[in-house]
Structure 1
Amino acid sequence: MNTPRRRMSSDQVHPTTNSWRRRRFLLIGVPVGLVVMAILLLGPLMLRSGLGLRIIAKVESLRLDYAYTTGDLSSTKAATAATAIAEMVPLSTQSASGMHSAAGPLRIHPTNPRYFADGDGNLVYLTGSHTWSNFQDNGGSDPPPAFDYVAYLNFLTNHNHNFFRLWTWEESRWTTETGDDDYWFNPMPPDKRTGPGTALDGKPKFDLTQLEQTYFDRMRTRIVAAGERNIYVAIVLFNGWSVAAAKGGFGSNNPWQGHPFNAGNNINGIDGDLNGDNSGEEVHTLGNPAVTALQEAYVRKVIDTVNDLDNVLYEISNESDGSSEEWQYHMISFIRSVEATKAKQHPIGMTVAWPDGDNVALYNSPADWISPNGDISDPDVADGRKVVLLDTDHLCGICGDRAWVWKAFMRGNNPIFMDGYDGAGYGVGGAGFDFNNPTGVSLRRNLGYTRMYAERIDLAAMSPRGDLASTGYCLAKLSASAEFLVYAPSGGQITVDLTGVTGEFHVEWFDPTTGTSVDGASIVGGATQSFTAPFDSDAVLYLFQSAISVTATPTFTVSSDTAVSEEEVIPTRLLQPTLAPTAQPISSPQYYVPTIDGN
């Protein structure tokens, strides 16, 4: 997808642009203001009952709809309603609602090891979109088109995402997925290019004993900028797609030609191709001690660069093949030993090998978190042996839908999406990706919706209990102040086994297609109860008990026809917003309004 998609003019988008913009305050500003006022007045009562967060969700849904019509999704000024309220509500109230910011690296949650906890002990559910160019620009020119990182962070914030993988590519040029001979990466691998001599890509050879500081400066700058948004970042240290001449049926070009450990590319006499087949999988093994020592020096430099940051996780390698198992175990232990001498220790992850991936190797590893393979239509239940970041990248690539998001969440996983995003990475997986595909749009939104519920429910005390719901997808807390969160992929009638708990339950229905919720009639536990979804498609049912009575809905309402008449609203389905060309690279966080259209 190297041909930029044509941007629509404002007249093409809708003929009433000026009229629509004049109503911006009425449609967005007034509802947000009312939400803030109501929560400040009613405080903990609204947040405890969930009413405040439900109104926030509605406002967020409206705001995203507005962003579709105006192409203003990425504006740094369009802060989420949740963020705006979090800045105004007292900290004690924020903690009750899950809206808080805490210092300290993540660690395994002490009572529910399916998730992480922050420095204050609060459970952290991770979810978000990641894309291949978010650290190293890549594409068909030298230098390649610059990735607009600020726009990307705005995109994540506006979808209520709090996690992404920071992608690393080990080669300077070429990939298996395109025959484009001028496919480049910037910054290039972190070794200095000093010469003498010319490498296979036509540039000076690498000196593997010297590291390029600007590479690590960019890494730190990007992680700091994400941390300012309360977004966690997993640094992908190595990449299996950078060393194999052909991988999984892809062999359009050979990235090993551009790797610093190729004998033709360095001045140090290092040859990572131990079997001489013009492919470098061996550098992701322990077969060459000199290579391992160089890799350890690089990893140590990464640790030195980011150790003081709280929002860091490590991932050893993206989809190295099955021969890498012992090498990945070694690198996990190496990071742990180095960080033991540092002020902070961060979670370390291992993702499934490809091809020949074996989830057993992940569970037997010393990693804190893993990303396994599996069935996209029927996610495995996370049993707590490891924190599972269930990534579509290792399930089926750019795939999935909102049903997968909710199924994964209900089974104790932390779902993340391999997002083609702007399609710029056409040589690394993004060719032909449609940013505005409705399935992807809905998937992104629902990642954020699951996070909204994760921060509202008592997730630390809940576990996957598919046996209690007829749909098979349920999180349940059976102790005091019991809670049940159930996903119904087809909507319709649902039964929930409440025989183990007594007392009254409040009933709430959430519509994943719109991001809105409605109350149902209260019910009593002690028996199996039946419910009928009020929506035509899939639905989420939330049953909860509370020591504080649920307050009546305030007299004001937040809906798409509150501020403007139906004929004045521009239906989002008629629009086809597209991403604009990316901006220039940034050397430090810059909070300007980037140019990005779409969802």
Structure 2
Amino acid sequence: MKIRCMKMLSMKMRGLWIILLMIFSFALKAQDNNTFQLHPDNPHYFLYQGKPTIVVGSGEHYGAVINLDFDYKTYLQTLGKDQLNNTRLFTGAYVEKLGDFGIQKNTLAAADGRVILPWKRAAESGYTLGGNKFDLNQWDEAYFERLKNFMQLSAENDVIVEVTLFSAHYANGWNYSALNPKNNINQTSEIPSAKVNTLDNGNILEHQERYVRKIVSELNDFDNLYFEIQNEPWAEAPDLVFTRNEFGPEEDWRSQTQVVSQKSNAWQRTVAEWIKDEESNLPKKHLISQNISNFDYPITDPDPNISIFTFHYAFPKAVYQNYYLDRAIGLNETGFAGQADSTYRRQAWRFLMAGGSLFSHLDYSFSVGSEDGSDTAYEAPGGGSPAFRDQMSILKTFFEDLDFIALKPDFQTVLGSPGAYNLTLSDGESLWIIYVEPVAIKSQSFILDLPEGEYQAEWKDVESGKSLGMMTVEDNHLKVPEANGDKVVVIRSR
């Protein structure tokens, strides 16, 4: 009798264990679906909060947390109101000085005494940008409170944050870094800036590792983020791989494709390993992004820890060249092409219609005192405006209204597009999307190659989002509306 009771108890315990395991598995699955991740059915796109997600942003110049004068609550509410879902955030290893890069209202360049970094200030004066030096062995809890509050408000406004850990230091940036020996009391190694983000950086490496692990652990509770290792690594440790004449003289950076040197790339792989290792015993696992180059580049020897590859000022072929990798491709910085909204709108449509899944515009209408993005009188090497954000909202909503997870780049359907450039996405069966940029006064009918059947087409103006009318596809010919400007057509089988 006693043995029988023990067996029954054992069976009950086993049943209870199975139920608890099922509950845990369900909770884990729910958590995974909530955390920003690659979409399991099409890893070129994302899954977030259990929904297919495409990332479209137009945000401030990355200093929302480190600049104490910046009202990030108003800023994030503005992004939420504008229905945009991305912002880029530099976390403190790199800062700027007012006037750098010709930006007169630079959120990355805080006023004297108004910068806050992950490290606590020491008692010794002498920080290059004013105030006391930093003690790299002590964390500033006020910074982390501000960082986590920023992340919480971002989540409440449906904003996904690119948490950028490091950056190239360009001409003078290393002079302002807390890791520079003249800005801390910890006797970090005296090295040239080109060696900072390499494995050959003396004792700075151990401080970089502590910083990365601290940021990663502090932010683990949040679903709405991914980590980017370093902004523009090619800017201080470059390998020149290609020279073009599309933008000017060969010595101009816009005429060159530069990628990060092998020494710096080895360091980036190490940083990715720190992130993975730190999260190995934490509940949430976040995506890691690597910034590859300006314009485009066929990625070689991709790090398996990287899920998102990003480019600056990118061409559509940045997506095409790397589509086979089955990972997300993003354009996460724009600029140096004037202030016209149309320039960056076309850039956004081109990139996402090539199969990209992330477009993040650098929007200079946001600054201290203009956290609602209303300043259109800024002096900066780029664009941004409330009108542009409206156009980006139209773009994001356009994709969200489609079954975009099934879409892939399509090079077969449009046989001819007289008077216009085009980019096409389709599911190959019942849905085709064609983005059109007219280059002639009047475009002619497109010549298509669709499977046999009947098709309905709706044209939309991408600037206003208004419908330009419905029509049928006749004998694989599609009439282009006479309306000026770029437009998009959705073709569905009937």
- TM-score norm. by structure 1 comes to 0.62
Gaps of 5+ in 2: 1-30, 237-259
Report what 1:326 is aligned to: 266
In the aligned structure 2, how far is the partner of 1:438 from the partner of 1:348?
27
Q: Per-residue deviation at 1:151?
A: 2.5
1:161-214 Cα shifts (integer Å, max 9, x gaps): 111112334356636436999954744321111234544445322211111111
In the aligned structure 1, how far is the partner of 2:298 from the partner of 2:187?
36
Give 1:352's match in structure 2, choosing from 292, 295, 298: 292
In the aligned structure 2, how far is the partner of 1:362 from the partner of 1:449?
36
CA contact (8 A) 1:372 1:394 kept: no
Q: Per-residue deviation at 1:483?
A: 0.6
Give 1:538's match in structure 2, choosing from 480, 483, 486: 486
Report what 1:167 is aligned to: 90
| 1:89-488 equivalent positions in 2, closer than 5 A | 104-118=34-48, 120=50, 122-136=51-65, 138=67, 146-170=69-93, 174=97, 176-177=100-101, 184=112, 186-196=114-124, 198-240=126-168, 243-244=169-170, 246=171, 254-271=172-189, 273-274=190-191, 279-288=192-201, 290-320=203-233, 321=236, 322-323=260-261, 324-352=264-292, 360=299, 363-364=302-303, 366-373=305-312, 376=315, 380-381=319-320, 383-385=323-325, 386-393=327-334, 400-413=343-356, 414-424=358-368, 433=378, 443-469=388-414, 470=417, 471-479=421-429, 482-488=430-436
Structure 1 residues 537 and 422, CA, compared in 2 at 3 Å: closer, same or farther?
same
Q: Per-residue deviation at 1:315?
A: 0.9
Report what 1:493 is aligned to: 444
SS of residue paired to 1:115: strand
Structure 1 residues 178 and 535, CA, compared in 2 at 3 Å: closer, same or farther?
closer
Report what 1:551 is aligned to: none
1:531-573 Cα shifts (integer Å, max 9, x gaps): 2225222211111236xxxxxxxxxxxxxxxxxxxxxxxxxxx
Q: Per-residue deviation at 1:133?
A: 4.8
In the aligned structure 2, how far is the partner of 1:282 from the partner of 1:425?
37
2:470 maps to a residue whose letter is: G
Give 1:508's match in structure 2, choosing from 444, 458, 464: 458
In the aligned structure 1, how far is the partner of 2:113 from the partner of 2:59?
18
CA contact (8 A) 2:311 2:333 kept: no
SS of residue paired to 1:409: helix
Q: Per-residue deviation at 1:295?
A: 1.3
Question: What count of residue pairs does the alignment treat as equivalent?
Answer: 414
1:288 maps to a residue whose letter is: N
In the aligned structure 2, how far is the partner of 1:396 from the partner of 1:359?
24
In the aligned structure 2, how far is the partner of 1:523 from the partner of 1:431?
42
Coordinate RMSD, CA, aligned? 3.5
Structure 1 residues 422 and 173, CA, compared in 2 at 3 Å: closer, same or farther?
closer
SS of residue paired to 1:113: strand
Structure 1 residues 406 and 182, CA, compared in 2 at 3 Å: closer, same or farther?
closer
Q: Which has the higher contact order (CA 8 A, sep 6+)?
A: 1
- TM-score norm. by structure 2 comes to 0.74
Q: Per-residue deviation at 1:234?
A: 1.0
1:253-275 Cα shifts (integer Å, max 9, x gaps): x333332222222222112x32x
Report what 1:41 is aligned to: none
In the aligned structure 1, how far is the partner of 2:185 from the partner of 2:395?
51
CA contact (8 A) 1:109 1:123 kept: yes
Structure richer in strand, relative to its length? 2
Structure 1 residues 166 and 408, CA, compared in 2 at 3 Å: closer, same or farther?
same
1:120-175 Cα shifts (integer Å, max 9, x gaps): 3x32111111221552455xxxxx7x223232223222332111112334356636
Structure 1 residues 202 and 478, CA, compared in 2 at 3 Å: closer, same or farther?
closer
Give percent identity, aligned residues only.
23
SS of residue paired to 2:392: helix
1:434-467 Cα shifts (integer Å, max 9, x gaps): 69x9985554333222211211211111111144
Q: Per-residue deviation at 1:497?
A: 2.2
SS of residue paired to 1:151: helix
1:383 maps to a residue whose letter is: Y
